[in-house]
Amino acid sequence: MSSSLDHPLIRDYLAELEAALAALPPAQAAELREQISAHLEEELHPDADDATVADVLARLGPPGELAGAPASPTAADLAARRARRRRTRTTWVVLGIVALVAAAWPSYVAVMHDVGSLQVRGASAWWYPQDSARQVRTEADGIVQLTVPIRSSERQGLVVDVYNPSSWTQTVTGPASEFSPGSPYGQVAVSTQPVHGSAAALRAATYGLPGVIPPHQSRAIRLMWVSIMCDERGGGTIVSQLVLQVRVGWVTRTEVVNLNPTWAVYGPSTGKYALTAPACQ
Amino acid sequence: MTELRRGVLGPCVLALLELRPRFGLELVRDLAASDGLLTSDGTVYPLLNRLRDAGLVTSEWRDEEGERARRYYSITAAGQEALAAFRADWTQFAATVGGVLNHLQGDAHIAPDGGR
């Protein structure tokens, strides 16, 4: 015999190993085949007797076991296992939080929507003194209306004091919809501090957006617009509500703040917004 | 014990390679020389492949004059780090297990008296 690999016992062993290696990726199988063959060639003399060959093969272990031998976990394996456990733990924690939030979210939204809306309370005024000077106060069926002449294409506005009756901070983020006379959109801003007193004090305050109104506190809300309406003589536009986007907690909702008195700009539009002008046709 | 043997075989291979590079059969013989460490000689080869895949050992063919061509295995820097970590863990683990085993042995002697 020229090589120990030609021994019948070894040929049988290698054939059995070959069958077992079929389950492994080709590169891995080729490597193991080469290692085992080298082991046998080196361990056994070509003329080794059957008993010696059998002993070496027995020590080598069954081919099937060799091909599928669970190897000792390496440090890298252990680190990967730890990382997998960490990832699994983190995934479960995240899923738990998501499930809790999902379960609680409808209740939370309902609670936020039930939070008391902003209420008009305290002082109010036209923003520009020239409008205040020409204001006409009328009252019918308990509703007060403050009317001023329209200043067509010019900026007009009003400021009202509002109160947050809830125990939640309410943050005004802007107007909720287009509304007249602030075409296309009125500009809303909220005073940064409570304002007490006269129209002059309301006008002197600092305004910004978003506007935070803490629980049980008041802030002035200013609504400005450019009067680009196409009103006819005898007509006018009434502002009886502020429709606002208000954030409460994590929920943003639409709040309708009813105004009393109501505010009106009255009279024919002129210039670019006269009824006969192209913009009004 | 088989699982315990398998668990420590990798670090033992790394420890042998830390001394010098060795070829497969040489490693098998060295490990077999330590009684009870190897359940079968063949388990060393899949283990070597796994250690290499994990970057803890490298292998290269050496064809030295008068010798047959052999694949030699060497420990890598990552292998040395892993071995150092295992040594630290093993020392602590062995001390803990030894402590528990000795304690239980002590209890076994005490228990009959305590039960009287």
Contact B6/A72, CB-based, under 8 Å? yes
Give the Cα separation of B65 and A7 in Å (integer). Answer: 27
What per-residue confidence (pLDDT) applies to B115? Answer: 35
What per-residue confidence (pLDDT) applies to A178? Answer: 57
The pLDDT tens digits for A180-192 are 454 545 788 999 9
Q: Residue B36 pLDDT more than 60?
A: yes
Instruction: Give the H or E element holding residue A124.
Output: strand A119-126
Question: What ipTM goes with this model?
Answer: 0.80
Q: Alpha carbon B115 to chain centroid distance? A: 43
In A, minimum Cα distance to B11 occurs at A74
Q: Measure Cα distances from A210 to A135, A171, A194 in Å.
A: 30, 6, 15
Chain A residues with CB under 8 Å of B10 CB are 71-74
Residue ranges per domain, chain B? Answer: 2-114
What per-residue confidence (pLDDT) applies to B113? Answer: 39
What per-residue confidence (pLDDT) applies to A221? Answer: 94
The pLDDT tens digits for B54-69 are 999 999 988 877 778 8
A207 — pLDDT class (breaks 50, 70, 90): very high
Asked if A65 reaches chain B (Cβ–Cβ under 8 Å), the answer is: yes
What per-residue confidence (pLDDT) applies to A80? Answer: 61
CATH code of the region B2-114: 1.10.10.10
B105 — pLDDT class (breaks 50, 70, 90): low
Q: Residue B104 pLDDT more than 80?
A: no
Which of B43, B46, B82 lies at the smallest CB-CB distance from A75? B82
3-state helix, strand, coil in chain A (%, to 5): 40, 30, 30
Strand partners for A252: A247
Q: Residue B90 pLDDT more than 50?
A: yes
In A, minimum Cα distance to B26 occurs at A39
What per-residue confidence (pLDDT) applies to A220? Answer: 95
| Token pair recorded at residue A212 | 């935070």
Chain B residues with CB under 8 Å of A66 CB are 40, 42-43, 45-46
Give the Cα separation of A265 and B12 in Å (integer). Answer: 93
Give the Cα separation of A267 and A147 in Å (integer). Answer: 10
What per-residue confidence (pLDDT) applies to B51? Answer: 93
In B, minimum Cα distance to A39 occurs at B25
Chain B residues with CB under 8 Å of A42 CB are 25, 68, 70
Chain B residues with CB under 8 Å of A34 CB are 71
What per-residue confidence (pLDDT) applies to A1? Answer: 47
Residue ranges per domain, chain A? Answer: 4-67, 117-280
What per-residue confidence (pLDDT) applies to A24? Answer: 85
Q: Residue A204 pLDDT more than 50?
A: yes
Asked if A42 reaches chain B (Cβ–Cβ under 8 Å), the answer is: yes
What per-residue confidence (pLDDT) applies to B103? Answer: 73
The pLDDT tens digits for A18-52 are 998 888 888 888 889 999 999 998 889 888 899 99
The pLDDT tens digits for A215-251 are 999 999 999 888 877 777 777 788 888 888 899 988 8
Which of B32, B47, B54 lies at the smallest CB-CB distance from A76? B54
Give the Cα separation of B81 and B78 in Å (integer). Answer: 5
Contact A39/B24, CB-based, under 8 Å? yes
